[in-house]
């Protein structure tokens, strides 16, 4: 999940193609997911953050060649962060099994209300993950 003032950063498919071709591994299928008005905008005014977005995709894609990777873009607000986390937790279309967060703030700092809400969402995600394996995992178990 990524953020900036209106999430005006992002990734370019051609850059990802070149990177994974250089590594000689299968490129992941990367999908940009818009949350609360945030979107993939690699030419936006905060394009300096593109490196962080690309790094996260490159690391995840190198560890899991050919994986489906959803990148959730949200506004740079507490509500945007919580919206992106909630979208990932309850995404019944992409069914993420791993969530990596690149966000500038720590859950240990900031207003008490934000920290409490974040803690509740993370606990919800843990419970959700323990209860509900992704369809890919369920399918893999059936075929063993």
Q: What is the pLDDT of residues 110-131, one digit of tens each?
A: 566 666 666 776 677 666 655 5
Report d(CA 51, CA 42) in Å as an integer: 10
- 58: containing domain: 2-142
**Order of strands across the sheet that contains 2-4:** 2-4, 68-75, 29-34
CA dihedral sign, ordered 87, 91, 93, 98: positive
- pLDDT tens-place string over residues 24-34: 999 999 999 99
Number of domains in the chain: 1
pTM over 0.75: no
pLDDT tens readout for residues 58-99: 999 999 999 999 999 998 787 888 888 889 988 999 988 888
Extract the runs of DSSP E, i.e. beta strands, from the chain: 2-4, 29-34, 68-75
The domain spanning residue 25 has which CATH number?
Answer: 3.40.50.200
Q: How far apart are CA 78 and CA 81, in angstroms?
A: 5
């Amino acid at each position: 999940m990524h953020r900036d003032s209106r999430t005006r950063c992002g990734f370019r498919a051609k850059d990802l193609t070149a990177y994974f071709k250089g590594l000689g591994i299968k490129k992941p299928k990367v999908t940009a997911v818009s949350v609360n008005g945030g979107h993939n905008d690699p030419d936006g005014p905060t394009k300096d953050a593109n490196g962080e977005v690309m790094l996260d995709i490159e690391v995840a894609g190198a560890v899991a060649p050919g994986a489906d990777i959803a990148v959730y873009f949200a506004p740079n607000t507490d509500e945007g962060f919580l919206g992106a986390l909630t979208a990932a937790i309850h995404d019944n279309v992409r069914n993420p099994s791993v969530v990596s967060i690149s966000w500038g703030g720590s859950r240990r700092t900031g207003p008490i209300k934000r920290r409490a809400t974040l803690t509740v969402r993370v606990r919800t995600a843990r419970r959700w993950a323990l209860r509900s394996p992704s369809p890919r995992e369920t399918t893999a178990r059936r075929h063993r």
